[in-house]
Structure 1
Amino acid sequence: MVTGRARRIVRIAFLLIALGFGCGAVASNWDGVAAGFARLSQRSISLSVAAVVAALCCGMMTWRALLADLGSPLPVRRAAKVFFVGQLGKYIPGALWPVIAQMEMGRDLGVPRSRSAAAFFLTLPVQLGSGLLVAAVALLTAGPDALAPYAWALLLVPVLAVLLEPRVINTVIGFGLRRLGREPLERALTRRGMLAAVGWALAGWSAYGLHLAAIVGDLTASEDVLTVLLFSVGAFALSWCLGIMTFVVPAGAGVREVAMVAVVSPMLDQGAAIAAALCSRMVIIAGDLLCAGAAAWTARSSVCARPDESPRNAL
């Protein structure tokens, strides 16, 4: 039986190998990478950061919609604090740190741990299913050849579509809780709540696409803005979905960037593609930190402004 220590060693080794190959790719194409970064404008970077913040907020609203449908509607400020601060745990090796953080912070607001865990794990298939669908539509519209090497990933779309049907997912959740010896959830998911979550997820992919398009627009010779936008939406959604399928590295580190370089290669040379992937990663990290800091500050300000209001009463 594999011990916890052995699993940590495997994760660290995987990450080091991925980083090694990534550094090698950057070094071998350094002139092109440096030239790509030099072509990025301050305006594009600013637009990219703003789009990422909007996308991250849509992700928070996806999770909040699921949590509300399960019976724990949270005010936006407090939901943002739990979600964004908890999401910083994704940068720690191991897939469970974000959900552990959200469960503990949610408990302080009267949210049962099982409900927080259910909302967290439901967010992943919602984002994965909507992301693969968006990638297929966007890349097919922008250029069918760009999607061909990754068509196998689309086989998950019908599986996820069935899984996200409330009657199916409620049965799966109930079975899992019984196997774990836990009490069933007080409220079942509804189709209305699931549609709200999917709607926010689709809005998030549009914002993520705009974030990448702002970067790619400076690096490509194409003047077709619509094609660049559609291509960027599809490329980011596909690379993110491939990254989320890899749970052994923090936040899909390395996997998403490798996939993004490959997907955008029809539009960018390798040096520019690597620059786009690295810049995208840095912008997303900055967005995570900005959202976590802003959410914590606004939530604290809200509590300080109403010192007589307890968290449970605020619900």
Structure 2
Amino acid sequence: MSSETPPAPESRSLSRNIWKGIKWALLVLVLYFVWQQGAKLYREQGEALSGMEINSLWLLLSGICYILAWLPSVWFWRQLLLSSGEPVSIGPVARAYYCGHLGKYIPGKVTVLLIRATLLKDFGVRVSVAALTAAYETLAVMGVGLVVFLSLIPVVLNAEQIQQWPAWVQSVQARPWLVPGLFLIAVFVSLPLLSRLLNLFAKKFTKSEVDESEAGPPAAFSLKLLYLGVLMFLASWILHGLCLGMTLASINGTGLQWQEWPRWTAAVSAAYALGFLAIFAPAGLGVREGLISMILAGSALIGPVNAVVAALLIRIVSFASEILAAFVLYYSFGKSAQDQDDSVQADADSQSIDSQ
């Protein structure tokens, strides 16, 4: 037997307090930096900001697009639940998913999982399975978002930035879709390994947050489902990019500048994926806005003023859309599992994707 003794409660408490202090300090530092940049921009471009007009119709369309952009994640999460032996209909899953979005505004990332797992518990879904599958979905969609951002970097770099890079980078930039294509091929080839890593990380992510007395979730999820999920998530990030484009279109009547769609997609995928990794920032606060404004400002068609305003507006649009979707779905699908019709089981059996 090992002679090691577990850490004392006082030591664990001290470590948690130190970590909380570090997270709050980092958050304050990021917000201060963003505030300084915003104040500098206002001093330099105050006249342009004061004369800016916002078209509310474009913001409404952006909000609708934002809600639709998460539907692939709802579908993927439900498929994970079905493959885990949890027959639940799409309505309760969507309800739990969109309500869970509000948990990201609380410091830490596990609140989202707890909300989603708790809401599905009333429909007979085991908390451990709901939390594990929710973590798996989150890691998968954010991982695809990070790959999308990295693959689009050559597309969004402007000529002045490229001139400062080595010659081989300039030759790659001359073929802007080469890097995205190579990234996608690499992702699909490495999916078997990534699937194992996602299963491992998802279990670690939820280990201390679920009831260990429950029967354990499956050891692994279908590789076929992960392939389909990646395709669905690519569509999701493209829609998120369009959502940002519609937000930009609301500013000063600029309209949709379709040639900037890759930049929109790169900006939102970077903002969400890297904002997710910034565990000290609730909902990526400050990190998301900084990344979006920085990437958008690299375009001569957008400029720094519109970039900053769009970064702030997309935060407002996403928050308002999340609240509205959560409110509607919470009260629309509030019945417990005992009240559901027996057809749910038959529907689940017919739609479940079996492991290959």
Residue 332 of structure 2 is matched in structure 1 by 298
Q: How big is each residue's C-alpha offset from its partner over 1:153-201, in whole Å with a ceiling of 9 and x where there is no partner?
A: x9x9868974664762487379869x98886424631122212322332
8 Å CA contact 2:81–2:130 kept in 1: the answer is yes
CA distance in 1 between counterparts of 2:48 and 2:112 reads: 36
Question: Residue 311 of structure 2 aligns to which amino acid in structure 1?
Answer: A
CA distance in 2 between counterparts of 1:147 and 1:211 reads: 26
CA distance in 2 between counterparts of 1:187 and 1:297 reads: 34
Residue 78 of structure 2 is matched in structure 1 by 64
CA distance in 2 between counterparts of 1:114 and 1:19 reads: 35
Q: How big is each residue's C-alpha offset from its partner over 1:236-295, in whole Å with a ceiling of 9 and x where there is no partner?
A: 112222211111111111111111111112113322211111111111111111111111
Q: Does 1:260 align with 2:272?
A: no
SS at match of 2:333: helix
Residue 339 of structure 2 is matched in structure 1 by 309
Residues 63 and 144 (structure 1), Cα distance of their counterparts in 2 relative to 1, 3 Å cut: farther
Higher Cα Rg: structure 1 or 2? 2
SS at match of 1:247: coil
| Comparing 133-142 and 89-98, the one that deviates more | 133-142
CA distance in 2 between counterparts of 1:283 and 1:34 reads: 24
8 Å CA contact 2:191–2:227 kept in 1: the answer is no
Residue 26 of structure 1 is matched in structure 2 by 38
Match of 1:168 among 169, 175, 196: 196
The structure that is helix-richer by fraction is: 1
Q: How big is each residue's C-alpha offset from its partner over 1:120-143, in whole Å with a ceiling of 9 and x where there is no partner?
A: 221233112321333344454455
CA distance in 2 between counterparts of 1:165 and 1:45 reads: 40
Question: Residue 119 of structure 1 aligns to which amino acid in structure 2?
Answer: T
Question: Residue 281 of structure 1 aligns to which amino acid in structure 2?
Answer: R
Question: Residue 112 of structure 2 aligns to which amino acid in structure 1?
Answer: P
Give the unaligned 5+ runs of structure 1: none
Q: Percentage identity across aligned positions? A: 20
Question: Residue 25 of structure 1 aligns to which amino acid in structure 2?
Answer: Q
Match of 2:126 among 106, 112, 119: 112
Residue 142 of structure 2 is matched in structure 1 by 128
**Number of aligned residue pairs:** 307
* CA-CA distance at 1:74 after TM superposition: 2.3
| Aligned pairs for 1:253-292 within 5 A | 253-267=285-299, 268-292=302-326
Q: How big is each residue's C-alpha offset from its partner over 1:71-93, in whole Å with a ceiling of 9 and x where there is no partner?
A: 32421110011111122111001
TM-score normalised to structure 2 length: 0.72
SS at match of 1:29: helix
Question: Residue 309 of structure 1 aligns to which amino acid in structure 2?
Answer: D
| Aligned pairs for 1:4-153 within 5 A | 4-30=16-42, 32=45, 35=48, 38-141=52-155, 143=157
SS at match of 1:3: helix
8 Å CA contact 1:136–1:147 kept in 2: the answer is no
SS at match of 1:49: helix
Match of 1:227 among 242, 259, 264: 259
Residue 232 of structure 2 is matched in structure 1 by 200
SS at match of 1:105: helix
CA distance in 2 between counterparts of 1:146 and 1:291 reads: 42
Residues 217 and 138 (structure 1), Cα distance of their counterparts in 2 relative to 1, 3 Å cut: farther
CA distance in 2 between counterparts of 1:105 and 1:146 reads: 51
8 Å CA contact 2:136–2:199 kept in 1: the answer is no
CA distance in 2 between counterparts of 1:92 and 1:19 reads: 16
* CA-CA distance at 1:114 after TM superposition: 2.1
* CA-CA distance at 1:53 after TM superposition: 1.2
CA distance in 2 between counterparts of 1:68 and 1:312 reads: 15
Question: Residue 289 of structure 1 aligns to which amino acid in structure 2?
Answer: I
8 Å CA contact 1:62–1:201 kept in 2: the answer is no
Residues 35 and 191 (structure 1), Cα distance of their counterparts in 2 relative to 1, 3 Å cut: same
8 Å CA contact 2:245–2:256 kept in 1: the answer is no
Question: Residue 290 of structure 2 aligns to which amino acid in structure 1?
Answer: V
TM-score normalised to structure 1 length: 0.81
Give the unaligned 5+ runs of structure 2: 1-10, 170-179, 346-356
Q: Does 1:249 align with 2:290?
A: no
Question: Residue 248 of structure 2 aligns to which amino acid in structure 1?
Answer: V
